[in-house]
Amino acid sequence: MTSPNPSRRLKVRLAVVLTLAIVAAVVAWRSAPVRGPVCTAGRHEERDASGKVVRITHTECVR
């Protein structure tokens, strides 16, 4: 019995390695860390139970 053609075995091995690399790249891309909440610039008023403004904060977003 003779073994299969070495070039065919090499092509199959390369195809398997390439497929695994593509699958790993897609999984890494899809499981990328989620960014934090989007910053909304502006003014925020905090009120107490009676409705009186207690604190005013201004938010600026840095890109």
At 23-54, the pLDDT tens digits run 999 998 888 777 777 788 899 899 999 989 99
**End-to-end CA, the chain:** 67
- Residue of 22, 8, 62, 6 whose CA lies nearest to 39: 62
The structural domain count of the chain equals 1
Pair of tokens at residue 14? 């390369």
Q: Is residue 17 part of a domain?
A: yes
Q: CA–CA separation, 8 vs 51, rounded Å?
A: 78
pTM beyond 0.85: the answer is no
Q: Does a structural domain hold residue 1?
A: no
Q: Note whether residue 28 is domain-resident.
A: yes
pLDDT for residue 47: 92
43: β partners: 58
Residue 47 amino acid letter? R
- Structural domain boundaries, residue 34: 6-59
In a domain, 55, yes or no: yes
Q: How far is CA 16 from CA 11, 38, 45, 59, in A?
A: 9, 41, 59, 52
